[in-house]
A = this chain, B = another copy of it.
């Protein structure tokens, strides 16, 4: 191996590392957006809601920038199998992160709507906050596993998605009960339902990211296979 080659390879490594760091930075940003959106909802803080919506363009710009970086690296480095796999998974991951950002903005818009109307009864957000906690935890863990290329942890994230879905169904049942008992709560309940739906989507996106990580490491596409198959694959 020549010095030239080593040097180039080190530089390439640094580029891939920088790419990964940018993904994590974007992930941290959208995680913050969700956290703030749920806080703004709980606190009925309209200004906070507006700020979150106004900041949505930032993750859009991050996605576009990272996409460009990926293309530049591919064109310049002509990466081999495993490096190319990493880059392709970055391309997929940032699409999910950007859509998580969209969901956060959606929650903030909905929170604004809920709080701008005089309600018969201000809803409690215990369940929403618990569900948000789960979704945020999933996202954080999926990014953590992305950073460490942790396959076992990623499989755990995939598994957690079922809890988020269960939580969503529980909230849905509860809201239907509220609406039946007091039809005056229908509009507010529908808005809360959309917030729960956004959180459920965030869980789905975190799950996608974890599946990409498993693929990145194991080189086998685990998207669209059952959890049991994923676990068999990891044990192999």
Contacts and interface: CB of A to CB of B under 8 A. Distances in A.
Contacts of A71: 81, 84-85, 88
Given A64-B221, A71-B85, A180-B183, 18 more contacts: A57-B224, A60-B223, A61-B224, A63-B223, A63-B224, A64-B223, A64-B224, A68-B221, A71-B81, A75-B80, A75-B84, A78-B78, A91-B91, A172-B190, A179-B179, A183-B183, A186-B186, A197-B197
Interface of A: 57, 60-61, 63-64, 67-68, 70-71, 74-75, 78-81, 84-85, 88, 91-92, 95, 172, 176, 179-180, 183, 186-187, 190, 193, 197, 221, 223-224
A172 B189 CA distance: 13
B190 A186 contact: no
Contact of A60 (B84, B172, B224): B224
Contacts of A179: 179, 183, 186
A154 B131 CA distance: 38
What does DSSP make chain A's interface, helix, strand, loop or mixed? helix
Copies, count: 2
Contact of A88 (B70, B81, B193): B70
A80 B186 CA distance: 55
Contacts of A224: 57, 60-61, 63-64
A133 to B, nearest CB: 24
A190 B223 CA distance: 29
